[in-house]
Amino acid sequence: MNKKSVKDMNNLEKLHNSLSAKTVRSTIKSCIIFGLICQLVALTFFAVSITKQYISVATSTANQAKLSTTNGADAVGFSKSIMSVYNSLSEDERQKMGTEEYRSYFNEADIHAKGNYDDLFNILNRIRQYSDVFDVYIAMYDVENQRVIYMVDTDANIDTRLYPGEWEPANRDGMLKLLDYDKNDPLYYIEYTKKYGLLCTVGAPILDDANRLCSFMQVDISIESILHAMLDFSLRLTVAFIIVTISLAWLQTKHIKKALISPINQIAQASQDYVKDRHNNVSNTEHFSNLNIQTGDEIENLCLAMADMEIELSEYEKNLTKITAEKERIGTELTLATAIQASMLPHIFPPFPDRKEFDIFASMEPAREVGGDFYDFFLIDEDHLCTLIADVSGKGIPAALFMMISKTILQSCAMLGRSVADILAKTNEALCSNNQVEMFVTVWVGVLEISTGKMVAANAGHEYPIIKHVDGNFEMLKDRHGFVIGGMPETKYHEYTIDFKPGDKLFIYTDGITEATNAEMKMFGNERLLTALNQSEDTSVKGLITNVRSAIGDFVKDAEQFDDLTMLCLEYNGNCL
């Protein structure tokens, strides 16, 4: 996934992704969510509060109307008269409600009540208009038939106004609630009617002198009034929240810009200037230290850390330049050391083209740039060939230096015509005389008398040689080991003799061959070495070494090696050739 850098962004993208824009968006979202929650809670409390207020007003209105009608007119007598007529009617007569015939049944009740209806209506109508309620009326309930019977109704709408004795189906729960009234609690119920919509009805019982219930003074409140009040409150609250949200977003953005965005932009600009100067190779370590950021928080700490980092990077670059130059120098010297070491070992094959009595081939592959293994072969005289292989303790340059010293001393001692045991003994004394680094070397050395095929050899802690006679396979010659060269002064070494026939071969090597390790940490070992030698299709000295190296490569594959690989193979051809 390709990531766009700051350089690739246009101004609109930078503005959209800026902390200021994110702060504004975050503040607005937070205020909207908070506002909606607050508005919901406020509307809930407002609805409960205003409903209680309306019920309280309606209760006061009902009580006032009851007092006015009982003192200013005969509400008790009129209610008893109407209910007396209603109770005397049959159900068939009651079903004629709304007709002139039905209304005529109650004319006598008004006459007997001495025209109380008009007085009651006028009193209640004035109270309704003054209190601004939906309706004020006197009514009583027929529990058996679940009806509300009207005595006086002041409905402003003449078409829906009910006259004495007329009835409507009653809300059962509301009816029972009012009939089971408690003097200490307000009497009200809320219901939805198809005729009037959602209403809240409040009642006050009208009692006669014997405290018997005659009727109820009832006041209806339209819930729509409450809803309108809630809507108006909600609109006012919304406007207030919008103003608060805009103000908070502006103040928050201004504060964030001063305390956070501006310092970050300064650090970002300093970073870009730092990169630009680096590309232009301009030495400047004051990009961040020159910034005047004093926020007293993590931003200031970041600026101080960046200033320290800039100085440390500058110092690191200077040190890195020195280290790189030193590393390049060392690399050059190691390359030269590798070339020098390779040149010290015989590397031209065949080494003695005019000598057909023997053939010899060798290879040395260091684990690092330079190694501690070495081999050598040289003619002491026309009839004696010295062959040796050695392995210095340690790796790298120290081992290479010790290897060069050891090789030179061994060759010098051998050229003096000494015995093989004396060659090792004199070399050991020379290396032990000033061996402060306590390094040592294992050596196998043999001197071949070319005319007879007789080889005198000695082993100073080295690997066993491998011999192949013309009529057999390669086999290890488990000779007697002496102590390593350079390990202990005055060490004696023992010689032994190998008789070579024409076609016989000698294979000598260092421990890096048998200890070559694969990824499973298994070693190549002696058995695989012998198998590689005996199964080689190319039986020449070079072919045998090439086959062994190939077998080691197939075994270790990509596993890293930590020791040098050194081999030497000699074939004795005899004077017959």
Shared-domain flag, residues 425 and 559: yes
Segments in 89-215 forming alpha helices (H): 91-94, 100-104, 107-112, 116-131, 172-179
Per-residue pLDDT of the chain (577 residues), as tens digits, is 455 555 556 666 666 666 667 766 777 777 778 777 877 877 777 777 877 888 888 888 888 888 888 888 888 888 888 898 999 999 899 999 888 889 888 887 665 545 578 888 999 899 888 887 888 999 999 988 999 999 999 888 888 888 899 999 988 888 888 888 766 677 887 887 777 778 888 888 999 888 888 889 889 887 776 677 767 777 887 787 778 777 777 777 777 777 777 777 777 777 777 777 777 777 766 777 777 777 777 777 877 787 778 777 777 777 877 887 777 776 666 666 666 666 788 989 999 999 999 999 999 988 775 667 899 999 999 999 999 999 998 777 777 888 888 899 999 999 988 899 999 999 999 999 887 778 899 999 999 999 999 999 999 999 999 999 998 999 999 999 999 999 899 999 999 999 999 999 999 999 999 999 999 999 999 999 999 999 988 999 999 999 999 999 999 998 888 888 999 999 999 975 4
Task: Judge whether 422 lies within some domain.
Answer: yes
- How many domains in the chain? 2
Give the closest residue to 50 by CA, choosing from 239, 219, 222, 198. 222
* Residues 210 and 352 placed together within one structural domain of the fold: no
Question: From the CB of residue 362, how many other CB atoms can be counted at a distance below 10 Å?
Answer: 25
Shared domain check, 549 and 401 = yes
Q: What integer pLDDT is reported at residue 577 of this predicted model?
A: 47
Q: How many helices (H) and strands (E) does the chain have?
A: 16, 17
Tens-digit pLDDT profile for residues 5-16: 555 566 666 666
Distance between CA atoms of residues 219 and 224, nearest Å: 15
525: left (phi over 0), alpha (psi -120 to 50) or beta: left
CA distances from 364 to 63, 258, 376, 389, 511 (A): 122, 71, 11, 10, 12
Output the pLDDT for position 369.
59
Q: Which of 203, 228, 253 is a domain's end point?
A: 228
DSSP code, position 523? B
Q: What is the DSSP string of 272-339?
A: HHHHHHHHTT-----TTTT-----SSHHHHHHHHHHHHHHHHHHHHHHHHHHHHHHHHHHHHHHHHHH
Q: Tell me if 377 is assigned to some domain.
A: yes
Write down the pTM of the prediction: 0.51
Domain encompassing residue 519: 345-572
pLDDT digits (tens, 9 = 90+) for 352-385: 999 999 999 999 988 775 667 899 999 999 999 9
Burial class (CB in 10 A: 0-12, 13-18, 19+), 168: middle
pLDDT at 437: 78
Q: What is the mean pLDDT of the chain?
A: 84
CATH number at residue 509: 3.60.40.10
The answer to whether residue 538 sits within a structural domain is yes
564 plus 431 within the same structural domain: yes
- Tell me whether residue 301 is in a domain: no
Return d(Cα 294, Cα 92) in angstroms, integer: 95
Measured distance CA(374)–CA(27) in Å, rounded:
78
**pLDDT value for 9:** 62
Give the single-character DSSP code of 478. Answer: -
Residue 362 and residue 221 share a domain: no
End position of a domain, from candidates 228, 249, 275: 228
Q: What is the pLDDT of residue 77?
A: 87
| Co-location of 350 and 213 in the same domain | no
Identify which of 474, 468, 460 has the alpha carbon closest to the alpha carbon of residue 526.
Answer: 474
Residue 281 to residue 268: CA distance in whole angstroms: 20
E strand or H helix at 58, and its extent?
helix 19-72
- Whether residues 173 and 40 fall in one domain: yes
So what's the pLDDT on residue 208?
Answer: 87
In this structure, is residue 239 part of a structural domain?
A: no
Number of other CB atoms surrounding residue 80 within 10 Å: 19
- The CATH number that applies at residue 38 is 3.30.450.20
In a domain, 283, yes or no: no
Determine the pLDDT at residue 250: 76
- Is residue 457 assigned to a domain? yes
Residue 21 located in a structural domain: no
| End-of-domain residue from the set 228, 243, 265 | 228
